[in-house]
Chains A and B, each alone.
Chain A
Amino acid sequence: MNSTIGSLGLAEFSRVLKTSGVTLKTGPFSYHIKSSLPAVQQGLHLLYADYALCTEAAFADFHISMNPVNSLRRWVRPKIHFCMDHKSPFLPMPLKQGLAFMEWGMNWCISNHVNDYVKLHAAVLEKNGRALIMPGAPGAGKSTLSAALTLRGWRLLSDEHALVSLTGAMVTPLCRPVGLKNASIEVIKGFDSGAVIGPLSEDTHKGTVAHLKADLHSDSQSDTPVKAAWVIFPRYSPGSSTRLEKKQKAETFLSAAKQSFNYSLLGERGYQSMVDLISACDCYDFVYSNLNEAIETFNNLKEPV
C-alpha cells in the first residue's frame, strides 16, 4: 500500500523515526533514517510529506542517523552527530542546526559514494521534457533562482547534484528540498506566500538556513532520466539588468568540470560524459536581479537545434 509520510501523524512519525527508522527514496537513492531530534522529525515530516512512507525496506543505499552526542556537554551546548553506516565522518554540530545538518549529510552521502554518474554541483530543473543545469559557484544565487523557478511551473530535478549520465547527456532526477540561506528565505516567502518552508537552522557556517518543499509536480518523485538542453551559469547582481549571454562551449566544459565532485575521478569516462553534455546543450552566462524577469527569460529558452 502506498501511503505517504504526511499521512502519518507527527507524533507517530517521530516515534517510528526514533525507533526503527524510516526509508526515504529520493530519485535513484534510498536513505534509511533514524533520529531522536524533534527538529529533524518535524522537518522531515513537513518537507517530505508527499514522499512514500516505507518502514520495512529490505535494502537502503545509505543508513543515516542524527542523534545527540552523549557527553557532559549536552547540558551546556548540546551537540549532535551525523552518522552514515554507524560512522561519524564529521565533527559534531550544534543542536539548533539539526535539519540543515541532516540535509547536508544526505548530500555528502551522494557526493562521496556515488560514481555511476558524473556529479556536478548544480541545480537542475525540467520544462517540456528537457533539463536545465545551473552549476553553482557559492553566492551565485542558484538556490534562490531554482526555488523561484520551481514555484513557477518548472519541475525541480535537483537542488545540489546534477547526476549526468556517462554517455548521452541525460540527467537523473534527485528531488529534495531546496536549501535557502539568509535573505533568500524572506525573498522566497515574499515571492510566493504559498511556499512551504521548513524550520530554520540558525548560526550555521552559512548563516540561517531553511528548506523549501520542492516536490510540487505529480512526477516529482520520478527518477526517469531527462535529456539535458541548457547549461546556464547564474549570477545574482543587485540592480543589474537581466542578461543572458552565450558562453563558449569549451569554457563551459571547464567551468562545469570544476564544479564536479568526480569528473577527474572518472578519467576518460568523465571526459566523454562532459563532451556529450556540452555538445547537446546551449550554454550561457546569466546575470539577474529580478526574479520575475529571470523566470520569463528562462520560460523563453528555445531547445537546442
Chain B
Amino acid sequence: MIKTPDARWRLATQDIRLDQFESQSAVLFHCASGNTHLLDLFGACLVRFLQQGAMQQSELVFRVAESLNFELEEALQVHLETTLDSLQRLEVIEKL
C-alpha cells in the first residue's frame, strides 16, 4: 500500500467512548454510528494520543511504540499503519 509519507491525523469525532479494562485490548463505542469495536493495545493507544490532539503519523507511531515499550521495527510500523487505516474506515480518525 502506498502511503503519504507523513500524514497528519486527528479524531474524526469527539463523540467516542474508549474503555480499556486490562492492558491487552479495549472497546471503543462510536456514538454517531452506534457501532462497537474491539481494539488491541496499539489501536487503543493510537486513539488515546489522538484524543489529546492532531499529530503527524511519524510522531504518533514513535510515541505509541515508546509508551508501550516496543521497538519500532518495520513489522510494528506496518501494523500501526494498518491500524490507522482501519480506524479511518471506521470513521474514528481522519487525515488532515
A residues in contact (CB < 8 Å) with B: 248-251, 253-254, 257, 263-264, 267-268, 271, 275, 278-279
Report whether B17 and A271 are in contact in the complex, using a CB–CB cutoff of 8 Å: yes
Report whether A250 and B29 are in contact in the complex, using a CB–CB cutoff of 8 Å: no
Report whether A253 and B27 are in contact in the complex, using a CB–CB cutoff of 8 Å: yes
Q: Which of B9-52 contact A (CB under 8 A)?
A: 17, 19-22, 24-27, 29, 31, 34, 36, 38-39
Nearest-neighbour CB distance to chain A for B15, whole angstroms, equals: 9
Q: What chain A residues lie within 8 Å of B17 (beta carbons)?
A: 268, 271, 275
Secondary structure dominating the interface of B:
strand
Report whether B27 and A254 are in contact in the complex, using a CB–CB cutoff of 8 Å: yes
Q: What chain A residues lie within 8 Å of B22 (beta carbons)?
A: 248-250
* CB-nearest residue of chain A to B15: A268
Nearest-neighbour CB distance to chain A for B38, whole angstroms, equals: 5
A250 and B26 in contact (CB under 8 A), knowing A271-B17, A279-B21? yes
Question: Which residue from B20, B25, B36, B38 sits with its C-beta under 8 Å from A271?
Answer: B36
Question: Which residue from B19, B25, B31, B34 sits with its C-beta under 8 Å from A248?
Answer: B25
Report whether A268 and B36 are in contact in the complex, using a CB–CB cutoff of 8 Å: no
* CB-nearest residue of chain B to A271: B29
Determine the distance from Cα of A161 to Cα of B26 in the docked complex, in whole angstroms.
Answer: 26
Report whether A250 and B31 are in contact in the complex, using a CB–CB cutoff of 8 Å: no
Q: What chain B residues lie within 8 Å of A267 (beta carbons)?
A: 31, 34
11 contacts between A and B (CB under 8 A): A248-B22, A248-B24, A249-B22, A250-B38, A253-B21, A257-B36, A267-B31, A268-B17, A271-B17, A271-B29, A279-B21
